[in-house]
Chains A and B, each alone.
Chain A
Amino acid sequence: NAGVTQTPKFQVLKTGQSMTLQCAQDMNHEYMSWYRQDPGMGLRLIHYSVGAGITDQGEVPNGYNVSRSTTEDFPLRLLSAAPSQTSVYFCASRSSPSSGNTIYFGEGSWLTVV
């Protein structure tokens, strides 16, 4: 059972570089989202999608782009990396409302911007 798969696990970027964090889920979930986790701040929502072709901003969207061309994939793009984007990133997907909204998380991507 693959669940939610994120790549890469670790990445070091230089300031100003761009990159894409990949996320794929094989559970046919309509809802997918990206969070960042910073010490003492819990999880903060970056962007989310309620289905293919539909995306929206979360709490901390600046500096990030997303797209949802298929149900399975939800990549997160850093346009011009900044040290403030050093963080751990989690992709998540949600089951249907009838099953109580349990969220399933990927294993995380540790990003350092130098």
Chain B
Amino acid sequence: AQSVAQPEDQVNVAEGNPLTVKCTYSVSGNPYLFWYVQYPNRGLQFLLKYITGDNLVKGSYGFEAEFNKSQTSFHLKKPSALVSDSALYFCAVRDIGNSGGGADGLTFGKGTHLIIQP
């Protein structure tokens, strides 16, 4: 079975400060890992993914995430937060060997509200 945990329902950061949104995962094999962002009344937008290779993945809007296999984590980071980064962020995982779990095989976390204060 595969699972994702986003331990924080909400993260508050002052504009200009670095931000981190936490994600830990559990898979039996090797993972594909994703971050999506959802703005109010909109669908989920793909931010970045880790498939293989460099543990530091760079994505859209200046976000990056670091894959840490020993800690089974894939935290989302940004060096300097913008008010426009305020949104709901979802981490998702797929076990590379998992062809089940639906058409996409992804398991999503419950989401973390990121609030950037001016």
A residues whose Cβ falls under 8 Å from a Cβ of B: 4, 31-33, 40-43, 45, 48-50, 56, 58-59, 90, 92, 94, 100-108, 110
Contact = CB atoms under 8 A, between A and B. Distances in A.
B108 interface: yes
B49 to A, nearest CB: 6
Given A40-B110, A108-B41, A101 B90 contact: no
A42 B110 contact: yes
A28 B102 CA distance: 18
B108 A43 contact: yes
A42 B103 contact: no
B42 A103 contact: no
A42 B43 CA distance: 13
A53 to B, nearest CB: 14
Interface of B: 9, 32, 34, 36, 41-46, 49, 51, 90, 92, 94, 101-106, 108-111
29 contacts: A32-B103, A33-B104, A40-B110, A41-B110, A43-B44, A45-B102, A49-B103, A56-B102, A59-B102, A90-B44, A92-B104, A94-B103, A94-B104, A101-B32, A101-B94, A101-B104, A102-B34, A102-B46, A102-B49, A103-B34, A103-B46, A103-B106, A105-B44, A105-B45, A106-B43, A108-B41, A108-B42, A108-B43, A110-B41
Main secondary structure on B side of the interface with A: loop
A42 B111 contact: yes
Given A100-B49, A101-B32, A58 B94 contact: no
Contacts of A106: 43
Contacts of A92: 104
